[in-house]
Amino acid sequence: MASSQPPIAPLEYQALLFDLDGTLLDTADDLGAALNTVLRNHQHPEVSRDIYRPAASNGAAALLAAGFKESWAQQPQEQLLQELVTQYAANIATYTRCFVGIEQLLIALDNKAIPWGIMTNKPGFLTDPLVKAIPALKSARIVISGDTLAESKPSPLPLLYCAEKMNVDPSHCLYIGDAQRDIQAGKAANMHTATALWGYVPSVDEALAWNADFNWHSPIDVFNHI
């Protein structure tokens, strides 16, 4: 479902900005492996991909809640959060890959001299080594993490900061993400928004209700707008 605001002409986009987990990178299996290690260490059954994948964009607490299920409220949550982060940081790019089509898209943006950047709620101590480990992300003009500024998404502040540092008009930026907070932040920053339906959306119907300007099933769909 598109918004009532008509999109600007594709060539008027001065920059594209991306969320990281669930948009550029499929990080779910590394996050799931860390979760299952914690579950094993605490004598809980491991969970399958269909359980941890939908929680992958929502942070460590959401992953642990998906893993421990109804017993999560009774667990030593701060301890488990630290264990999960430690496990994940130690194996941050074992299974992580770009989603199919992302590498070609980023190459096309570089070839067209359209700058692009990353704005994620992932903390910087995890974002920086992960981005460094993925060669396809090396030409990002800017990488902003959830703790770079005083506010994170759904606040528009990090996106506005990206636009300022890239010297582009926010209204001529396109922000692509797979969570409702991504679309909320983009709209609040007066950017055009696109939902990455290939990512960790709760369901297509729920994602369409976020009313992004675009709803794309594949990174290849972005080619029509650059």
Cα separation, 214 vs 196, whole angstroms: 9
Task: Find all residues with CB under 8 Å of 156, minimum gap 6, and list them.
Answer: 185, 186, 188, 189, 190
Nearest-angstrom CA–CA distance, 178 and 218: 12
Pairing mode, if any, of strands 15-18 and 116-119?
A: parallel
| Contact (CB, 8 A) for 192 and 174 | yes
Q: What angle do CA 102, 11, 225 make, to 5 degrees?
A: 40
Strand 214-216 and strand 192-196: pairing?
Answer: parallel
Is 213 an active-site residue? no
Nearest to 210 by CA among 199, 219, 201, 218: 201
Give the distance from CA 89 to its chain's centroid: 17
Catalytic residues: 19
